[in-house]
Amino acid sequence: MWTHYENLQVRRTASQAEISAAYRAICVSNATQLSPGSDAERALLLANAAYQVLSDPDQRSRYDEWVRDQEWSAETARRLLSASQRPAGTPASDREVLHAGLFGRTLAKLTLPAFIGLLVWLGSRAEQPTSPSLPPYSSANMTEMEAVDPMMEAAFQSAEPVSDPAETSSNQAGLAAPPAVMPEIVPSLALAPDGQPWPRVAGYLDGTARLNDSGLSTVTIDNASSGTAKFVKLVEISPLRARPVRQIWVLAGGGFTLEDVSAGRYDVRYQDLATGDLARSEAFDVQEIAEVDGTRFSNITMTLFQVSGGNLRTFPISPTEF
């Protein structure tokens, strides 16, 4: 499995000093060859995403756990496939026998009431999702890019400017066009945060910054199945805080695609402008992983309306969390 460690060309047991040295070496070696779309730019993007995670002990610990889970799942799938393809009558390996024996002996020790209780508890956990704890949230309307590493700032001086938000419409996101008339909006939310009427087209809100925009991934906000407009925030989740990095408006029946999203952990928070209700999604990961034939990145669609088979589970939030 290719990970952030491979992107920085360090061992998984590397010290923080080794990680910092490797990151700066990649920045220095690629800065002189940088041009839009080049291998040097791709290497810097991957190194930056890797360093953001591995330079923070808490994020690194969580990432290492995620990598172990992924590798364990892959190994388990491989073993199951191998077992399913084993000819009839072929004995299982010692490890497969050990796993089955331990599981069977554990269940055998449970009394009937305890076993029934276990099933009920598992069912309740599956049907009633709880809101996981999150770091402190800052809803400040950021209008400037926060400080970045000087090496990366110098390396990305040639980056292309951000495109006009009007150029990205709900149709470009592969979604149905929004209705021509403005949806009903509760009077207390008649104006956007900048004090102006809500725009007639989906897009970024004036006066808000577009942060975390050095990636290759996209996050599509799908509001096509909803009859109400939404004020939406893409929120970055880090061990120390949660902060909005993109703020958009989507019409009823439409949608919008956030482009160039950097690798990281995020959730989507939104306000229904017809009711004023506030909600957020489960946290999700945007990933960029270098592979032999290029970079694998995320194209995520978040559906804001609870439809059958939808992919978004939401939790109610308070105004201070929005």
Mean pLDDT of 160-181: 43
Inter-residue contact 244 to 205 (CB < 8 Å)? no
Q: What is the pLDDT of residue 170?
A: 39
Please give, one letter per residue, the 3-state secondary structure of the chain.
Answer: CCCHHHHHCCCCCCCHHHHHHHHHHHHHHHHCCCCCCCHHHHHHHHHHHHHHHHCCHHHHHHHHHHHHHHHHHHHHHHHHHHHHCCCCCCCCCHHHHHHHHHHHHHHHCCCHHHHHHHHHHHHHHHHCCCCCCCCCECCCCCCCCCCCCHHHHHHCCCCCCCCCHHHCCCCCCCCCCCCCCCCCCCHHHCECCCCCECCCCCEECCCCCCCCCCCCEEEEEECCCCCCCEEEEEEEECCCCEEEEEEEEECCCCEEEEEEECCEEEEEEEEECCCCCEEEECCEEECEEEECCEEEECEEEEECCCCCCCCCCEEECCHHHC
Tell me the pLDDT band of 32, cut-offs 50, 70 and 90: confident
User: Does the pLDDT at position 165 exceed 60?
Assistant: no
HSE-up of residue 296 (Cα within 13 Å, Cβ side): 10
Alpha-carbon distance 252 to 47, whole Å? Answer: 39
CA dihedral 115, 117, 120, 123 (to 10 degrees): -60
* Angle 221-226-232 from CA coordinates, rounded to 5°: 40
Inter-residue contact 120 to 175 (CB < 8 Å)? no
Mean pLDDT of 97-123: 55
- Phi and psi torsions of 145, nearest 5°: -65, 135
β-strand pairing of 217-222 with 299-303: parallel
More confident residue, 186 or 106: 186
**Domains of the chain by residue range:** 161-321
Q: What percentage of the chain exceeds 70 in pLDDT?
A: 65
Alpha-carbon distance 38 to 40, whole Å? Answer: 5
Mean pLDDT of 25-32: 86
pLDDT tens digits for range 215-271:
999 999 999 888 889 999 999 988 677 899 999 999 988 999 999 999 999 999 999
Of the listed ranges 89-98, 178-187, 238-247, the least confidently predicted one is: 89-98
Q: Which two tokens stand for residue 307?
A: 């439809």
More confident residue, 117 or 182: 117
Please state the separation of Cα 190 from the chain's center in Å: 30
Mean pLDDT in the chain?
Answer: 75
Which of 164-173, 189-198, 271-280 is predicted most confidently?
A: 271-280
Inter-residue contact 99 to 197 (CB < 8 Å)? no
Amino acid at 45: L
User: Does the pLDDT at position 113 exceed 60?
Assistant: yes
Q: What is the pLDDT of residue 130?
A: 46
Mean pLDDT of 206-217: 90
pLDDT tens digits for range 124-161:
554 444 455 566 776 665 443 344 444 544 444 433 33
Which of 27-36, 101-110, 159-168 is predicted most confidently?
A: 27-36
More confident residue, 241 or 282: 282
Q: What is the pLDDT of residue 115?
A: 60
